[in-house]
Structure 1
């Protein structure tokens, strides 16, 4: 998570505010297609029995669900870049919780939930709220508890903040905001309820696909500190492979002849920083785009596509590299070791594939999302081929969770050395930020002792706990800027108690990481789990469903940041370099080793122990799986009711004199062409009055001349092309306006025009040439075909857009008495022709 040096400037400005209750509504999907849309009558990806047989996978109970978690889209600081100036002004794309439930068909309590939230991370208070909500529902929902609910975030940096449990991330958001918190908690619970309601027998299968140009390493200098022989085992300094878990319902547990795909869950590492720090419109960033594209491409509103994060720590979506954007070195690449531009951090910034648009990264976000979507869809669409998929096999379905205090965790390294972790602390390079979001003052990466480092940071950092010699020694190469783990005034600043969790279904293991593991850290963690799991006795109950001839190494994935936000997890070698990722590794140089050691020593045995042994020793052994609701280890503080806030509530909304709410201030034109942006401005009210969860603030309506002779909604604010923006016109009077813009260029593929990415264009042309050569096309014939294909696509897009439309605004105004009243506004009619 990129940090700015203004991070501590508002520490004294925190105050409590009240919460609001939000009502969930049913979501209605869009109907217009996009250039990438692959619409077809949904047949559930029917399986071919001649290719895939029932014996190729173990039956499970499977359920998927999705619900809106979009918090306040205006006047709330975004969570991610930690820049107080980045405050929401509207909405480009709604945020969701996507729930995936996997259970045993024979043992009702053997199940788990994997949540993918369009948020910066999981969180201690968020998870606690979800568990409390499930417990309050009771009944069948008591099957979901502390042991088997994993709360992961996509690591988007363009969503509303002010919902995290600890003080440090609350500082730039002016504290804690209960409406933002409840939007996430309530939506997550709703997604679990919907997934539970959809539970049915089915089978799982795993596939892998390479995502082309989807990420790069933003700290290659630190990566090179890892042993050369270890690096030589990998083709890239980031993981390029996406792992996909396919959820397929079957009509019964013994046949796949009537199978229907209901969802996919993917893991691929790329930071949610495609949208730059100057963006103020809420989006799910690149993974939100990928999920929306996948779900929109299938004619089934209940299909759920989760694009989960992986070992994301040192990855970046800004695939063109980092350059100096201003100053004496403008246009040059940033320094390889320090990411400096003439001894300054601020000018250095990564460039996305459509850099140069001055659009806050919008086109690049769309493109990186599209690349993930296309890779996933291509593999999913080959689901009738058994060669592309590996069935998940084995009867074990289990989740295990421990709270572990990493402020002083003693353990032994594989070489026999006894080591310990430290109370959480952040180093000086933390303040420098990253190439995705540079710090606002001159802190230099990998230069913690530089005499020119800002004295302001030293003063601010030491206003919290001052690290003693023991703490300094424990953190080794890290020069401590913020001793957050030893600071609890006015309440706890950062976590010392972290969530350790792992989920298992058959021969698939899911590491649930509380921090952002770097590329190599994630590889080591996965390999350690795979080695231990592979050596488990095949005679253990739960593994007897796998024939000896078919036993292969288990698949291990890593998802996070999850459950709490424990910043970064770098390898010891990367830690020694003290770039951003190392400086943000909270618990000292042995942080990664502690995670790995605890996972294989305490968690993995819980997933492989004999059931009879579990029943006999459950009360006395910490390595045996407890009931789903049991709590193991010291509990972290839940600070929802202790947190401060200076976030002002909405006082009143007023319409200008002689105007009413929803009145059109600036109307649309009568005619437009495909690719134009169509906008209307309305007398508005603060959208914080009603978050309209599973609903919309804006819509595009099209008149149906052929069948109903009525207006029909064809776009909502979940759609990338429809933008909702709110502006305060008078603080004193309480007036505001809303602009709704339909950017039809996205539906024409216009975001790709004028691309500066020549390398990408060349690679696409090379791929097309290979395909054409396979079909025997050359020379003029080849050129003619390409031109005709482009013309056909353009004509199709234009024809689909033609018609009579209008824009609609849905608002809610607050009177001085506190009463909130809904209203609507409608633009004039316009034609696209």
Structure 2
């Protein structure tokens, strides 16, 4: 009996002993968790707990980490997200898309840490953010520090990424609903990027700078911009912001640049509506070029080119012209002969018939060049070691009453979300359809406003009440989406309100696309409030978005009045911007230091938004089966480059293969396509290009829906600086049988010869300079 009584205690003792040994790492089958334990000694120096040497003094102002992971979802048969064009369906990939994660933390307070994500997507999203937070929670206590309060999910606003991942019904319509695989690719890749950033955490310095970027953006709605007060416009040289703002992440131990996070406003619409290849658009180009340039010094360098007050900006820097006459589009409503369809913006290389590809590369290069100059500047301002703080809450903007920040006697109110007729008119980057046009308000109609069919369609979704019509005035409501919830919510009424702070830098995390003047007004309001509320004498402000929840646009009240696209897409009425300003100033005290916030009440979480992932509709057809074709095997080469022909930089060389549907396997962190070069010294083939490289294109074509056959074409535009030698293509695919089994295969082209520049085959300074010139 005594032995039986002791048995439970002996078992418990064994469990405790085993757990202790595991914690110490003696019995672990995998490396112990990386601990980041810092403290401040009596002399004010930061010390780190080193397992071998005890407490050691470390240099640095902040704890810094960077990470990057692949989020490329379905590259074919899924509608691209951005233009809302049902005909724009993916057919391949020019460039993989990524999530880039940046972590900044306090060296003395482990709980003071924030995460800024830059996704090569159209925007942040409610369900995506919710999924990321859920997965982080499941990773265990080490990642509990990352939560809804300190994780910001921003999109670069690329219009050439896979769609079908958003939370609300309206953006799902053109993609035929929700696609779980597309959603999972983004969520899982984002979490992996955070994990990599977390694992890379090290003491370091943050350095801040700004650089003029010329010829990379214009205002696509100058008529709207001119509605803002003249004295306000006179404060600024341009009608768009021209400076790229950069935060350099520098390792303290050796001064090595770990990464760069930058903000610059330009739409991700360099690639036109007729592009069907997946890319990160111009910001994806900028990140690719900078990371390639920096990888010689630091292969793990991460470049995040975040969006800013992007709402009325355009990369089509030559302006908008009528395709039929060649004349500029109408200034007021961007029409040609009263219709929008022929009015298109022109990028810097528009004469090349390539769906905007060269213009996209050019706009990306200009952003990259500015960032590169800042990274090489040894006189950047150092963000002083100070508070790392943040807050997040939700606000319901369907009926929010508040006082104007600029006129305390003025009571204001927001409205349930609605989109105006000008929304359907589109923009000069992507014109609308039918008889809609921009600039349609209560006093200035368009043919669509007089068309009874649109009123019938409006009523079928949700007829706006008289109160809603009055609240949204002068916007004539086309889609009263805020009140539409059948079969689930069409657009958000509940939005994220979030600010992040690192020292004297405050980051506005904007749910919508703020126009140029909206962003300026918002930043100015916080700049004026921060000295008194946060005791920051000269605060630095940046705005990043669209983030967390895609809440369409944020125009000024004056811009809203003329109801061009940006105003018509401002969901919550004419006072939307003032509501955001009011809410962020109201909660600004929560960005204070620990001592400054200790007396504050706990910040309310606010009303929770709906998460529609598990109830979203989908009419997207699955992959049924793949067949190689008669007398073919998957990966068989159908066409190879001419073996006797010498190819040179500037040439396009291609090969074609018997293919299978790439939706069977996204090959995340891998590639569908590769170029290999024969290394004479090693006597083996070495991969020198993958589908993450801009100049290597993977195209997929369905040859028979009935038979399930398809072909893949790989194209390589040989870049300046490419080394001479023997090359070949590799195609990596996955086929699906009728039973659902997925089988990997490869294809290899014939060998071809490149007569190159015999330069080092990386984006070295010389090669990069050549690319910038060409």
Q: TM-score, normalised by structure 2?
A: 0.88
Query: 1:455 Cα deviation (Å)?
Result: 4.3
In structure 2, the residue corresponding to 1:376 is in which secondary structure? helix
Determine whether 1:396 maps to 2:390.
no
Counterpart of 2:664 in structure 1 is 689
Give the length in aligned residue pairs: 687
Aligned to 2:759: none
The structure 2 residue matched to 1:669, chosen from 629, 639, 642, is 642
Quick one: which of 698, 702, 709 aligns to 2:683? 709
- Residue number in structure 1 paired with 2:619: 646
8 Å contact from structure 1 (residues 403, 498) kept in 2: yes
Mapping 1:725-736, distance limit 5 Å: 725-736=699-710
Query: Are 2:331 and 1:346 aligned?
Result: no
- Offset of 1:155 from its aligned partner? 0.1
Where does residue 361 of structure 1 map in the other structure? 356
**Equivalent in the alignment of 2:274:** 278
- 729, 734, 742: which one pairs with 1:812? 734
1:611 aligns to 2:594 (yes or no): yes
**Cα distance between partner residues in 1 of 2:424 and 2:395:** 27
- CA offset at residue 535 of structure 1? 2.5
1:470 to 455, 463, 467: 467
Match of 1:527 among 508, 519, 524: 524
Cα deviation, residue 668, structure 1: 1.4
Please name the residue that 1:291 is paired with: 287
Aligned alpha-carbon RMSD (Å): 1.3
Q: Residues 517-538 of structure 1: CA distance to partner in whole angstroms, max 9, x if unpaired?
A: 0000000101111111123464
The partner residue of 1:722 within 690, 693, 696 is 696
Work out whether residues 124 and 155 of structure 2, in 8 Å CA contact, stay in contact via their aligned partners in 1: yes
1:423 touches 1:587 (CA, 8 Å); kept in 2? yes
- Cα gap change, 1:644/1:471 in structure 2, threshold over 3 Å: closer, same or farther? same
Following TM superposition, by how much is the alpha carbon of 1:225 offset from its aligned partner in structure 2, in angstroms?
A: 0.3
Paired residue for 1:306?
304
Aligned partner of 1:557 in structure 2 is 542
Cα 1:400/1:292, change in 2 over 3 Å: same
Distance 2:658 2:668 in 1: 22
Q: How far off its partner does 1:194 sit?
A: 0.1
Per the alignment, residue 397 of structure 2 pairs with 406
Partner of 1:600: 585
Q: Is the 8 A contact 2:62 2:385 kept in 1?
A: no
Query: Quick one: structure 1 residues 676 and 611, their matched pair in 2 at CA, closer, same or farther if it must change by over 3 Å?
Result: closer
| Structure with larger RCO (C-alpha < 8 A, sep 6+) | 1
Q: CA deviation at 1:451?
A: 5.7
**In 2: Cα distance, 1:462 partner to 1:265 partner:** 45
Check conservation: 1:58, 1:392, Cα contact below 8 A. no
CA distance in 1, matches of 2:612, 2:534: 43
Q: CA shift at 1:667, angstroms?
A: 1.5
Deviation (angstroms), 1:302: 0.7
- Cα shift at 1:358: 1.3
CA distance in 2, matches of 1:456, 1:740: 46
Match of 1:508 among 499, 505, 509: 505
Residue 463 of structure 1 deviates from its aligned partner by: 1.3
What does 1:5-154 correspond to in 2, within 5 Å? 59-154=61-156
Give the aligned partner of residue 166 of structure 1. 168
The aligned counterpart of 1:50 is: none
CA shift for structure 1 position 460: 2.4
- Structure 2: gaps spanning 5 or more residues: 1-58, 756-774
Distance in 2 separating the partners of 1:250 and 1:218: 43
Q: CA deviation at 1:743?
A: 1.2
Contact 1:58 1:395 in 2 (8 A): no
- SS of residue in 2 equivalent to 1:801: coil
Q: Is 1:419 aligned to 2:421, yes or no?
A: no
1:258-273 correspondence runs (5 A): 258-273=254-269
What are the equivalent positions in structure 2 for 1:325-340 lying under 5 Å apart? 325-326=323-324, 330-340=325-335
In the alignment, the residues of structure 2 paired with residue 526 and residue 394 of structure 1 have an alpha-carbon distance, to the nearest angstrom, of 22
Q: CA deviation at 1:651?
A: 0.5
Could you tell me how far apart the structure 1 residues matched to 2:60 and 2:312 are? 36
Q: Is the 8 A contact 1:62 1:199 kept in 2?
A: yes
2:713 corresponds in structure 1 to 739
2:447 alignment partner, SS class: coil
**What CA distance in whole angstroms lies between the structure 2 residues aligned with 1:488 and 1:58?**
51
Give the Cα separation in 1 of the matches to 2:102 and 2:662: 30
Match of 1:206 in 2: 208
Deviation at 1:615, TM superposition (A): 4.0
Aligned mates of 1:459, 1:161 — CA distance in 2: 29
Find the residue that maps to 2:482 and give its secondary structure.
Answer: helix
Q: How much has 1:832 moved relative to structure 2? A: 1.3
Shift in Å at residue 612 of structure 1? 4.4
Counterparts of 1:537 and 1:492, CA distance in 2? 38
CA displacement at 1:613 relative to structure 2: 6.0
Residue correspondence of structure 1 range 557-636 to structure 2 within 5 A: 557-602=542-587, 604-608=588-592, 611-612=594-595, 614-619=597-602, 622=603, 632-636=605-609
Q: 1:247, CA displacement in angstroms?
A: 0.2
| 2:743 is the counterpart of 1:825 | no
Q: Deviations over 1:600-627 (max 9, x none)?
A: 112x11012x5346445444xx3xxxxx
- 1:459-486 alpha-carbon deviations (Å, 9 max, x no partner): 3232111001000000011000000001
Check conservation: 1:263, 1:304, Cα contact below 8 A: yes
Shift of 1:561: 0.1
Q: Quick one: distance in 2 between partners of 1:342 and 1:59?
A: 59
Q: Is the 8 A contact 2:735 2:742 kept in 1?
A: yes
Q: Work out the CA distance in 1 between the residues paired with 2:562 and 2:81.
A: 27
Using the TM superposition, give the Cα deviation of residue 673 of structure 1 relative to its aligned residue in structure 2, in angstroms: 2.5
